Chains A and B, each alone.
Chain A
Amino acid sequence: MDILATAVPALSEAWGLILQPVVIGYLVLGVVMGLAVGVFPGLGGIAGLSLLLPFMFGMEPVYGLALMIGMVAVVPTSDTFASVLMGIPGSSASQATVLDGFPLARKGEAARALAAAFASSLFGGLVGATFLTAFILIARPLVLAFGLPEMLMITALGLSMVAILAGRIALKGLAAAGLGIMIGTIGEAPAAGSLRMATYDVPYLVDGLKLVIVGLGIFAVPEIVSLLRQDQSIAKGAKLGAGWLHGVRDWFANIWLSIRCSLIGVTIGVIPGLGGSVVDWIAYGHTVQSTRDKSKFGKGEVRGIIGPESSNNAKEGGGLVPTLLFGIPGSGSMAIFIGAVALLGSGQIEVGPAMLKNNLDITYSIVWLLALANVAGTILCIAASPGIAKLTTIRFTYLAPFLFMLISFAAFQSGQNFEDLVALFVAGLIGIFMRRFDWSRPAFLIGFVLSAPIEKFSNQAFQIASFRFRESFADGMDYVFSPIVIVLLIITVISVILGLRQAKLIMSEGNVASGAKRAPLIMLLVITAYLTIAVVDASTISHFNITDKIVPMVIGGLALLCCLVLLVQMIRKPEGNVIFADRELAGDDAKAPHGLWATLAWFAGLIGLTGLLGFVLALLIFLLTFFRIRAQASWKMTLILTGAGIALMCLMAWLLNRDFPPGLLQEAVDLPWPLK
């Protein structure tokens, strides 16, 4: 009752603050800017908020909040465009959307997929906000109940989704996830700073690989290359099928799924330290498990979009809890948000424990601004989706160079090194071969994303648990096996068992033909070799820093074990067994008019030229030759498209105040922007 007495007036004050034309105006402005930034893969809330920061100083707090929240709220909505239309995970929040969204686009149902996604996003955002309104007042004890063992278990639950996405050969999926985790451990260890698979001579590797680059490489590059080889449009036959109304109806038919996934999203979002990386996978796993006919997943099941998309916008709402109540950012964009809030007005809003006491009205304004931003963003996105869906009917050869351009630019933004482009290319190669030989790419990505949390939480929980056990055995057991841990453990075990049983039905990459032994065997040997080197490398870390070697050695060892069993199976099984899946034997890739290497060479050429001449000059040459030679476009068309591409890049870089990747030329000569 006491709570109600404070909440109700604060809530009405909050509405009073929000419902002013100026505030709504700023909100819409933020939403439009957020959409503009979010549609580009790899650019998200961080880039957008950095853009707004200079204007925050001394701004009327509610206006500033409206602007920033409008921006942040729509990023998980707008990045759906890239996930569905191009198979590019726009951010960690939309990885799972790719699995079913992109196949729908290929069927010509992009508008339906987008509309279902946006309706789910909107609904998720609203459910999240409603839930938070009541929950935020009592959230503190719950958030504090999630200690390290509990977070480790949630991470494990996220990882258990590998089981369901492992593909036809479970061992291959497990090995792929293990490989993902191992790639995620490259660089300086978070605990004691030992180097894994890196040296100080290559400073780039010391910082580890970024999710943007690995995500783009594993998912986007293989799809772009494959589509480019087939020389078609994204939607097969360039026909558009079911439209946006159909998508909204799909969402409504699955409204209970949408509610459940929204609640999953908001609950996991509340827990600080996990961020968005697991939410969409857990929601996807739940969706698969709660669907009777599982055979369509990975081939364009609309429920596979509704689940993750409902959860990822709800997660943004949940993520506000640790940010506002504890002053601890749940993500990079929230960290900037906290800093920016202190710049607003005379700095009277202080994010942190005092927020609920002193600024409950502001807290509620933030929650409901988020919900309103979702509404505005969704309406804009749905309105845009039939038009944008037409992109899928364009001959892909005209889109591909722009996509190469965009993903290179996006990759470069993550670390601002030329090596970012090289890393993108290498990740792309890994992705291409994983796709070809039917190694689960989602499993790999889940492993990569969860690599750091697994290592961090298991090390830290282990250390604290060992102190507790030293105090007394009962104390230690209390700490490790809390009721929350036990519940999560049971859910995880069930989801692994169910997942493994169902995995054979879910072909996240479609059906792949099988054939001769040689090529798949080489792929396995390469992976085995890498894992062996990585494990040996980890074992050389001094025993003093056991925290830095234990995870790579254990996980690497397990993955290696999977590989060895696979090796034995490959030797024994006859040619043509599913274990020898190879996409080059039959299907779209095999029939494609262009070869893999010739197509990939274009991308390699762009990166190589960038290393010599810098990005803009390289892009100029790349676009000109690509349109003229590969696409056989007329000179007029070539010049128009090239000019448009260069202009778009320059505009984006100028707006975001970013540089372009420099090459050797730039080291030798001082050139004016944008050539510098």
Chain B
Amino acid sequence: MTIAKLARHTTFAVAAAAAFALPAKAEVDFSDETIEWVIPFSETGGSARWANFFAPLLAEAAPGEPTVVVKFMPGAGSTKGANWFQDQEHDEGTLLFGTSGSTQFPYLLGDPRVRYEYKDWIPVMASGTGGVAYLNAEDGAKFDGSANGLKDKTFIYGSQGATRLDLVPLLAWEMLGMEVEPVFGIQGRGDGRLMFERGEATIDYQTSAAYLSGSVPLVEAGTAVPMMSWGALDENGNIVRDPTFPDIPTFKEVCEATEGCETSGEAWEAWKAFFISGFPVQKLAFLPQGTPQEVVDAYVAAFDAVRSRDDFDQLAAKQVGQYPVFVGDEAAQALELAINVPDNAKVFVIQWLKDAYGVEVGN
């Protein structure tokens, strides 16, 4: 009788201890859970590649080794997905959302369709890239580290649209006093490179990974000449040479060497602001508003473990380029940098888009 009683007591005690132990440890465990990583683009874009690259790594590193699936919600150049995410609230912590420069630019430019607010979301990871502009062989010969010899010619450039990431190269060339005519309507930067290879376009730019795989062979074959990289940011927020391309001068250097181009003033500030938003802090992963701190911490720790893998640099080089991956507070700072564009820079760009390309954005 007593033994049975004791046994029952013990069972109770163990159960109670177990029951208390769980909330006390407050450990986040995703065992048997499925994390949905929503990407507001189609399956075929760069953001899809980015998420598909990180998803299996995150699955290994997150507590309880959950399944991580990437889901796509394309529409209105990511505005649809971002508006949807704005309405999501914390629910078990199994929802992750990825944005790109194409989500940031309409937000910065005051696109009327934007109903999302970056400041409401909780960034857990951010990664970036760089970019390199290059010239055809004939005009490349006239390039001497400044654009002084390139001003009397009209260049043709295959562009995805002036309000997209192409804003950064187009504004840079304009600041250098070059005449670059964008041919709009191409589908991706790969199409732009093909146009360049066919000799229809005479100037082009690629993001880092695409430059390494697609354009470096052209440079080696002598049909393309690198002009400038957009550069990278140092700890103090200054633009320095891109560590991936230490031999290619940055736009800042070329601008300083070119007559009439200034690395101060509102054009420069505007370019720099949009460069930061579009390149070094191009892609971010967010948790929805209201996510409890321990869930946030679990994600931050997981992404930290991902980037600390011994083979991470090697794996990342092909997919996302060898650029720093920011997690937790660093990601928050990166986001801060990306969305805190001074108002006069926005006004400058909106006016420039209207004057140069007749594009009306914002009000």
Contact B194 A328 (CB under 8 A): yes
A193 touches B44 (CB 8 A): no
> Which of the candidate stretches A343-351, A502-510, A626-634 sits at the interface with the other chain?
A343-351
* Residue A24 interfacial (CB < 8 Å): no
Does A336 lie within 8 Å of B44, measured CB to CB?
yes
Could you name 21 residue pairs across A and B whose Cβ atoms are closer than 8 Å?
A144-B198, A147-B200, A190-B184, A190-B185, A191-B184, A192-B184, A203-B80, A272-B194, A273-B187, A273-B191, A326-B190, A326-B193, A336-B48, A339-B49, A343-B53, A353-B214, A417-B75, A460-B186, A463-B183, A467-B181, A657-B69
B289 at the interface (CB under 8 A from A): no
In the assembled complex, the CB of B211 is this many whole angstroms from the nearest CB of chain A, namely 11
Chain A positions within 8 Å of B318 at CB level: 342, 347, 350
Taking A193-B161, A273-B187, A467-B156 as known contacts, 6 extra A-B pairs with beta carbons closer than 8 A to each other, sorted by chain A number, are A148-B195, A190-B184, A339-B52, A353-B217, A417-B75, A544-B358
User: Residues of B contacting A476 with CB < 8 Å?
Assistant: none
Kindly state whether residue A352 has any CB partner on chain B within 8 Å: yes
| Cβ of B308 under 8 Å from chain A | no
Q: Would A416 and B52 count as touching, CB distance under 8 A?
A: no
**Roughly how many angstroms separate A416 CA and B71 CA in the complex, as a whole number?**
11
- Listed in ascending order, the chain A residues whose CB lies under 8 Å from chain B are 46, 49-50, 53-54, 57-58, 144-148, 190-193, 200, 203, 206-207, 272-273, 322, 326-329, 332, 335-336, 339-340, 342-343, 346-347, 350-354, 415-417, 455-456, 459-460, 463-464, 467, 470, 542, 544-545, 547, 657
> Contact: B185 with A547, CB < 8 Å?
yes
Give the shortest distance, in Å, between B208 (CB) and chain A (any CB): 14
Closest to B314 in A: A346
Pairwise interchain contact B52-A347, C-beta atoms closer than 8 A = no
Contact A464 B359 (CB under 8 A): no
B55 on interface, CB distance cutoff 8 Å:
yes
Complex interface: chain A residues within 8 A of B161 (CB): 192-193
Tell me the nearest residue of chain A to B57, going by C-beta: A57
- Measured CB to CB, the closest approach of chain B to A391, in angstroms, equals 31
Would you call the interface of chain A mostly helix, strand, loop, or mixed?
helix
> Once the chains bind, are B75 and A203 in contact (CB under 8 Å)?
yes
Interface residues of B (CB under 8 A from A): 42-45, 48-49, 52-53, 55-56, 69-71, 73-76, 79-80, 112-113, 154, 156, 158, 161, 163, 181, 183-188, 190-191, 193-195, 197-200, 210, 213-214, 217-218, 311, 314-315, 317-319, 357-359
A352-B214 contact in complex given A54-B56, A148-B200, A190-B185, C-beta closer than 8 Å: yes
CA of A336 to CA of B112, assembled, Å: 32
User: B69 touches which one: A54, A456, A544 (CB < 8 A)?
Assistant: A54
Report Cα–Cα, A328/B190, bound state, in Å.
6
A421 vs chain B, min Cβ distance (A): 16
Distance in angstroms from B179 CB to nearest chain A CB is 11
Measured CB to CB, the closest approach of chain A to B68, in angstroms, equals 8
- CB <8 Å contact, B194 and A326: yes
Which B residues are CB-close (under 8 A) to A547? Answer: 184-185
B156 & A192 in contact (Cβ 8 Å cutoff): no
Residues of B within 8 A of A203 (CB): 75-76, 79-80, 113
Please, which residue of chain B has its CB at the minimum distance from the CB of A544? B358
Q: Which residues of B contact A272 (CB under 8 A)?
A: 191, 194
> Do the beta carbons of A207 and B214 come within 8 Å of each other?
no
A336 near B43: Cβ-Cβ < 8 Å: yes
Contact with A335, one of B44, B194, B198, B213 (Cβ below 8 angstroms): B44
Query: Which residues in A have their C-beta under 8 angstroms from that of B213?
Result: 327, 350-354
Task: Name the one of A145, A207, A544 contacting B76, with C-beta atoms under 8 angstroms.
Answer: A207
Please report the C-alpha to C-alpha distance between residue A544 and residue B356 in the assembled complex, in whole angstroms.
10
A327-B213, A354-B213 as given contacts; A464 in contact with B44, CB under 8 Å = no
Bound CA span A597–B49, Å: 46
Q: Is A354 touching B217 in the complex (CB atoms < 8 A)?
A: yes
Asked if residues B43 and A463 are in contact (CB atoms below 8 Å), the reply is no
A200 neighbours in B (Cβ, 8 Å): 112-113
Query: Nearest Cβ distance between residue B162 and chain A, in whole angstroms?
Result: 8
CA distance A207 to B40 in the complex (A): 13
- Closest B residue to A347 by beta carbon equals B318
Q: Give the 5 A-B CB pairs with smallest separation, nearest first.
A: A544-B358, A335-B44, A353-B217, A328-B190, A191-B185
| Contact across chains for A329 and B185 when beta carbons are under 8 A apart | no
Cα A49 to Cα B48 in complex, Å, equals 13
> Is the CB–CB distance between A342 and B43 below 8 Å?
no
Closest A residue by C-beta to B161: A193
Q: In the complex, which of the residues A145, A206, A416 contacts B73, with contact meaning CB atoms closer than 8 Å?
A: A416
CA distance A646 to B29 in the complex (A): 33
Q: Which residues of the partner chain B approach A148 to less than 8 Å between Cβ atoms?
A: 195, 200
**Chain B residues with CB under 8 A of A54:** 55-56, 69
Complex partner residue of B183 from A328, A464, A657, CB under 8 angstroms = A464
Taking a contact as CB atoms under 8 Å apart, the answer to whether A464 and B185 are in contact is no
A328 cross-chain contacts in B, Cβ below 8 A: 188, 190-191, 193-194
A229 to B156, CA, bound (A): 57
Contacts of A327 in B (CB 8 A): 190, 210, 213-214
Q: By the criterion CB–CB under 8 Å, are B73 and A464 in contact? A: no
Q: How far is the CA of A46 from the CA of B42 in the complex (A)?
A: 10
A65 to chain B, nearest CB (A): 16
- With A53-B52, A54-B55, A464-B156 known as contacts, the answer to whether A343 contacts B80 (CB < 8 A) is no
Residues of A contacting B200 in the complex (Cβ-Cβ under 8 angstroms): 147-148, 464
Q: How distant is A401 from chain B, measured CB to nearest CB, in Å?
A: 29
Contacts of B75 in A (CB 8 A): 203, 207, 415, 417
Q: Is there an interface contact between B358 and A192, defined as CB atoms closer than 8 Å?
A: yes
A46 to B74 alpha-carbon distance, docked (Å): 14
How near does chain B come to A117, taking the closest CB pair, in angstroms? 28
A341 to nearest B CB, angstroms?
10
Closest to A542 in B: B358
Contacting residues, chain A, for B44 (C-beta < 8 A):
46, 329, 332, 335-336
The answer on a CB contact under 8 Å between A657 and B317 is no
A463 contacts B76, C-beta separation under 8 Å: no
Which residues on B sit within 8 Å (CB–CB) of A192?
161, 184, 357-359
**Bound-state Cα–Cα, A145 to B197, Å:** 10
Select one of B185, B190, B193, B218 contacting A460, CB under 8 A: B185
Chain A, residue nearest B217 (CB): A353
Question: In the complex, what's the smallest C-beta–C-beta distance from B198 to chain A, in angstroms?
Answer: 5
B75 to chain A, nearest CB (A): 6
In the complex, A58→B312 CA distance in Å? Answer: 12
**How far is A467 from B154 in the complex, measured between Cα atoms in Å?**
8
